[in-house]
């Protein structure tokens, strides 16, 4: 029979003869007036207690109170108890059920750990905190009710339980992780979860796929640490924080989809991960691999449009698919609208775009031609860096701001343009030399403006002298023309307008012209004669420099100024008349 004992078992046994006991098992009744059951006044390690009655005077079940009471099958806890302490019922392996009253607010660390016969538990709404390992190793626990009101649950609280489910608490806003002996390959975190706890799925090496809902804003420390079987993960746009080591050691991860907005990422978040593919619309600086955040990957799948890609600085994104191996870079793929930018041979920038972002086409070595519309006002740094296959560029008419190294290592054969302002020139590798300029305006427009920038960019110093490129105007190569008639009505012959036109033998200048710009006929070495009309008032510096076939020139009385070296190098010139009007 089972004896009811109100004092400690040892005292009770002193009053009983062994012959009167059919078993050592007994029900323990805690004396009235006891306020706390602790290791010192408790019954820890007593294997013969089968049940316990606790009086209303008790407010706390303290540390180790019933630790190791392996014969204990049931406990009734009164409404007076507010706290169940650490290890209070640990190793009570025969405990099949327990009722926790509404008065309890905290359940301590490992309080019911290894209660291997416990099959269900109801947590009242009063409980706000469950300690680490509280139900650790409760392998028979199949049901838990009432986690909604709990604010905090400690590490490993339900580890190795038989629940076989993703546990959520705090009204479904927090995800504790997986609890159960089963090993499903795919898991879905329920909608409504806002944060994934620290170490929630740590060590779940069997997990190959995880679905994270859009409601999640934070992924905790080590949340997926060591999930070596995980092959892909999509991080929703709502996530603003990824904790340290969140995906540490996910060595099987081949694809990551990351959110668009700014995000805080902890150290080593992706250490020992080498994803082949990252799917993203933006990779801010916080994603970069300082302290192993997100390392290099082979393919970037951009989820926006080509217009969106072009319009923003892409330095972070392009640099993360390029890796230095041996003596040079290995360049990954950048997929935009289903096409690999690195394999595209031509691209037309959509009209209306104002900015071509930094590194937008960096290392697009297959690109052979590019058309930049007139709407563009800014080209970012390294926008076309090392586009070594580029043979043709069509550039806009207006003023444009060009970043450093925008066209570094580019040597296009042909540039199509109406104007090349000083910003295009090759200081710090903006736009280097090219072989042919195709001018999109008329001959009148060409002649009327200073063309120093444009002509100088088709002429290159090679060895001991210049190699001169072609300038196509109205379908003709200025550099191959033998004669030219300046259209009537033109007032100015712009600087360098016919510079290095070495095939030109004669030129007709109308009476409408009032000035001849600097270098206008510089090194027109075949020019034999020129008639300067009475309308001209000024001749610029180096205007006829090195026109050594010129034998005579008449300067009209209208001319008031002749620039420096205007006729220097005209070695064939035998006579020249300078009027009194020249000052």
Copy the structure tokens of residue 541.
């510096």
pLDDT tens string 39-56: 887 688 899 999 999 999
**pLDDT over 60 at 34, yes or no:** yes
- Mean pLDDT (whole number) for 258-268: 87
Residue bearing tokens 């199509």: 416
Over 70: is that where the pLDDT of 33 sits?
yes
Residue 89's pLDDT is 96
Average pLDDT over residues 473-496: 95
Within 8 A by CB and 6+ apart from 14, the residues are none
Highest mean pLDDT (candidates 141-150, 394-403, 411-420): 141-150
Mean pLDDT of the chain: 89
Strand partners, 400: none
SS3 492: strand
What is the C-alpha end-to-end distance of the chain, expressed in Å?
136
pLDDT above 50 for 18: no
In eight-state DSSP terms, residue 274 is: -
Q: Would you say 74 and 49 are in contact if contact means Cβ atoms under 8 Å apart?
A: no
Residues whose CB falls within 8 Å of the CB of residue 374, separated by 6 or more in sequence, listed in order: 351, 396, 397, 398
Separation of alpha carbons 569 and 525, rounded Å: 10
84 exposure class (CB count in 10 Å sphere: 0-12, 13-18, 19+): buried
pLDDT of residue 2: 41
Q: What is the pLDDT of residues 400-444, one digit of tens each?
A: 888 999 998 888 889 998 888 777 776 666 777 788 999 999 999
């Amino acid at each position: 029979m089972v004896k009811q004992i109100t004092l400690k078992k040892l005292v009770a046994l002193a009053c009983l003869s062994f012959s009167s006991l059919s078993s050592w098992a007994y029900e323990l009744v805690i004396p009235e007036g006891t306020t706390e059951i602790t290791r010192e006044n408790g019954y820890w390690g007593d294997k013969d207690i089968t049940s316990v009655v606790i009086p209303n005077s008790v407010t706390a079940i303290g540390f180790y109170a019933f630790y190791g009471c392996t014969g204990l099958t049931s406990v009734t806890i009164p409404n007076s108890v507010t706290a169940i302490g650490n290890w209070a019922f640990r190793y009570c392996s025969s405990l099949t059920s327990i009722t926790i009253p509404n008065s309890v607010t905290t359940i301590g660390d490992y309080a019911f750990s290894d209660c291997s016969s416990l099959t269900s538990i109801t947590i009242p709404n009063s409980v706000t905190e469950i300690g680490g390992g509280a139900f650790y190793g409760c392998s028979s626990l199949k049901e838990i009710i009432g986690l909604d009101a709990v604010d905090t649950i400690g590490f490993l609280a339900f580890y190795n339980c038989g629940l076989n489910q993703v546990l959520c608490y705090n009204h479904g806003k927090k995800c504790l992780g997986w609890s159960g002996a089963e090993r499903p390959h795919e898991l879905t975190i329920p909608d409504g979860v806002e944060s994934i706890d620290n170490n929630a799925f740590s060590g779940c090496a069997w997990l190959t796929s995880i679905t994270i809902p859009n409601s999640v804003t934070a992924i905790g420390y080590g949340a997926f640490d060591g999930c070596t079987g995980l092959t892909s993960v999509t991080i929703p746009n709502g996530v603003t924080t990824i904790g340290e080591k969140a995906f540490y050691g996910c060595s099987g991860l081949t694809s990551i989809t990351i959110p668009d907005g700014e995000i805080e990422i902890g150290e080593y978040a992706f250490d020992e991960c080498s994803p082949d593919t990252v799917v993203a619309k933006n990779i801010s600086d916080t994603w970069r691999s300082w302290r192993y955040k997100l390392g290099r990957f082979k393919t970037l799948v951009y989820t926006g449009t080509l217009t969106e890609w072009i319009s923003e600085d892409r330095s972070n994104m392009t640099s993360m698919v390029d890796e230095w191996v041996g003596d040079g870079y290995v360049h990954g793929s950048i997929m935009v609208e289903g096409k690999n930018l690195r394999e595209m041979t031509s691209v037309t920038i959509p009209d209306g775009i104002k900015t071509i972002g930094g590194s937008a086409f960096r290392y697009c070595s297959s690109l052979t031609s590019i058309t930049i519309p007139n709407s563009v006002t800014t080209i970012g740094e390294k926008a076309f860096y090392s586009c070594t296959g580029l043979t043709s560029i069509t550039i806009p008419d207006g003023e444009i701001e060009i970043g450093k190294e925008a066209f570094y290592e580019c040597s296009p054969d042909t540039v199509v343009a109406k104007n090349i302002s000083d910003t295009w020139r090759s200081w710090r590798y903006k736009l280097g030399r090219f072989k042919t300029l195709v001018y999109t305006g008329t001959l009148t427009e060409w002649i009327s403006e200073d063309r120093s920038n444009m002509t100088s960019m088709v002429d290159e110093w090679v060895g001991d002298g210049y190699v001169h490129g072609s300038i196509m105007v109205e379908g003709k190569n200025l550099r191959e023309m033998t004669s030219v008639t300046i259209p009537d009505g033109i007032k100015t012959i712009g600087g360098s307008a016919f510079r290095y036109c070495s095939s030109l033998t004669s030129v007709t200048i109308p009476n409408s012209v009032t000035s001849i710009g600097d270098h206008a006929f510089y090194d027109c070495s075949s020019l034999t004669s020129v008639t300067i009309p009475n309308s001209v008032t000024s001749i610029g510096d180096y205007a006829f420099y090195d026109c050594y076939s010129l034998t005579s020139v008449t300067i009209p009385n209208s001319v008031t100024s002749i620039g420096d070296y205007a006729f220097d190098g005209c070695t064939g010139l035998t006579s020249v008349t300078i009027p009194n009007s020249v000052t």
